[in-house]
Amino acid sequence: MKRASTEKSAELAAVISAAIAAYERDTGAAVGTFAIRKITRVSGNLWGKAGIADCMESRRM
């Protein structure tokens, strides 16, 4: 069980690293200027939370 969890963690890190590399490439950001400090699991309905965050952001003045 522990090995499967470790493999999934490694896969997650690889996906996040690839996303950061794509972001840096697409935006022209200098390589190595973007850093992930912490990754935590979010409980609850992620789409609902994203919708609420989007709604709140649209109300900013």
Query: What is the overall mean pLDDT for the chain?
Result: 84
- Average pLDDT of span 32-55: 83
pTM for the model: 0.52
Contact present, 37 and 20 (Cβ < 8 Å): no
| Domain layout of the chain by residue ranges | 2-58
Measured distance CA(48)–CA(13) in Å, rounded? 25
- In terms of Cβ atoms closer than 10 Å to its own Cβ (0-12, 13-18, 19+), residue 24 is middle
pLDDT at 44 over 90: no
Contact present, 20 and 34 (Cβ < 8 Å): yes
Residue 35 tokens, joined? 């850093």
pLDDT tens digits, one per residue of 1-30: 567 777 888 898 899 889 988 988 898 888
